[in-house]
Structure 1
């Protein structure tokens, strides 16, 4: 029913019992222009290899679920037009109709669990959007974390969201939120926020043990590992907060709503920071990939 295609590298890793880290593909199709998108994706994959694990970039191509992409497929996807952005609601439909789509956090988690991959590295998760009390705009990522057994390494939730409400929803859904190496929940482009993280762990072994223990207890869902961006790469929160507020005001002025809000805000913040937000984004994704590789290796040992 599901045509699952493993890349040659991922298949070899599974056969040998080596650690694998899932990667999403929307960063390639919707995150930045060609050829930078492919260059960054290839660099993140190499970071995982250098850290001792195997990368598995996930996408749906012509109705087939690919876990791991060959180099030529990465190039083709990076130049493709009209690629769907897949989440839980439309992933099956894309496969069933022979479509091509890039996976978001939620869809990547689904595919990773289906393929037996337990760790996933991304930039930042989606969450509760500002004004959600009237729009009910809450990312499917949060519910996916509550039901799909994958540990997700991210630099927190995207800073354009209502982060306090995002943490409240994660708590309600029973999702462990683990700050790596600090007590504060990181703020995506910034290493620190005023929000305390519910949990703290200081090494990959503890995180892997927590993942395995949840499975042993029969608990559904995964873990969110909030990995702060390296201090040298961050944009401090006191500098970024007024920029985000200005971008939000611009979106309100132009009547931007619904699915258009996030891409508009990210583009406006890119402009207002003169490109520094994208540089920071790349740095944090690479940092998350390295930590995810360590966690995946510890899980193999367990």
Structure 2
């Protein structure tokens, strides 16, 4: 990307978008474009098209999405499929119509079948049934992938689709009703520590394994791929290692400094048993994650404390 390129980061206030914005600023890019959802509703086609026409955008990082954990996906399936389909359709189509040079679509590893072999290779997409609890969200993301591929095939665009593993970091969602497991655990242990609670409840059995990538690592990968990747096929981004939720809870408990017990509520579904991505494709291009889970969790807890105190 040229130093003076006009770069639009969709979803700049979220976990991933804010990290991409920080990475771009760190690299010296100054022609950065972003809008809050109150300024630009990406679900509204006319607003999005007018915005792209006015801004003459060169590159797009499409990190805007409606996201949430198991509870949110289970409670609001219509919202998840509708809003994500609208957002990505409007942005991708407007990017094509206004001559955007490159667009990166941020997907999710929930696109892979629930019982796919581990680690998850890119070619496992559409080879089996999805995890029911986040199926509407996953279907929307799969549609976004296919839309990018179809536009590349029909119109010669250069739209790429990146599949990050589970994310965490600054600007994460710590709302216990809608957050993912890692930020939810940080908040639970912190509040239990403050209240001198005897125990903390963790949803599920604690047996499923998950992989966690720091948002700053993902942002570096996104900039790297925008420069070095032009294939229509999806590409995974992750660390190549996973951890059981039970062990993750123990690690967060230690970092927070909570002294009580941990209980597991097995009445709440675990979701996919394991979700480790194969990162051999991106590693072969020359990129690897650098932030260890323990190091990342420590910085995430510091960020949470700052955000928590502000919003308390």
Q: TM-score, normalised by structure 2?
A: 0.37
Q: Which has the larger radius of gyration?
A: 2
